[in-house]
Amino acid sequence: MELDATDLALLAALRDGLPLVPEPYRVLGESVGLGEAETLARLKALQDAQVVKRFGVVVRHHELGYEANAMAVWDVPDAAIDRLGENLAKDKAVTLCYRRRRALPDWPYNLFCMIHGKSADWVKGELARLAEQHGLAAYPGAVLFSTKRYKQRGAWVGRGATEAA
């Protein structure tokens, strides 16, 4: 989807969230000079094109008790990665799933997923199940638990965009 200047203004106005008023889209539209109907139509198009993945609550994992997070990675053949990634993404334990470029020679892994849980033991158990269930145990892999979060702040377009980088 090609974003025009009005779309970008709308996204910038949404950076901090939707107004908490009975007619939020009318108020949002007014702030960028759009009527309510056009605002709704543009937001629907942005959502259909996955520029905005979804509207709703964006939770802080820690405050909900999701204190354990692990990044699990595997080195899988390029020919198999789409199927494996799509299967992982459908698994209820997985919160993010990406294919990334390998950083050779030190980092051979190309399939990344994140798992958040209320305890490290739960996350470990789910990882073992995932690897077994999705046929990943056959590939070289690693699990990286986070030990400390130093900074959780959006750069540039705000708290929205870097979550998904």
Site for another protein in 31-70 (CB under 8 A): 36, 40, 43-44, 47, 49-61, 63-64, 66
- 24 is a contact residue toward another protein (CB under 8 A): yes
- 5 is a contact residue toward another protein (CB under 8 A): no
Site for another protein in 70-109 (CB under 8 A): 71, 81-82, 85-86, 88-89, 92, 94-101, 103, 106-107
CB closer to another protein out of 90 and 129: 90
H/E element, 39? helix 36-48
Q: Least distance (Å) from another protein to the CB of residue 101? A: 5
CB atoms under 10 Å from CB of 148, counted, come to 4
Structure tokens at 9: 């203004």
Q: Could you check whether the bond before residue 105 is cis, i.e. omega within 30 degrees of 0?
A: yes
Q: Least distance (Å) from another protein to the CB of residue 43? A: 6
Site string for another protein, 116-155 (x = CB under 8 A): x-------------------------x-xxxxxxxxxxxx
- Amino acid letter, 35: G
Cα-to-chain-centroid distance, residue 10: 21
8 A C-beta contact, residue 68 and residue 125 = no
End-to-end CA distance of the chain: 19
Buried b (16+ CB within 10 A) or exposed e, 31-46: ebebeeeebeebbeeb
Q: Least distance (Å) from another protein to the CB of residue 37? A: 9
Q: Least distance (Å) from another protein to the CB of residue 128? A: 17
Q: Least distance (Å) from another protein to the CB of residue 46? A: 8
Q: Please give the size of the binding site for another protein, defined by CB under 8 A.
A: 80
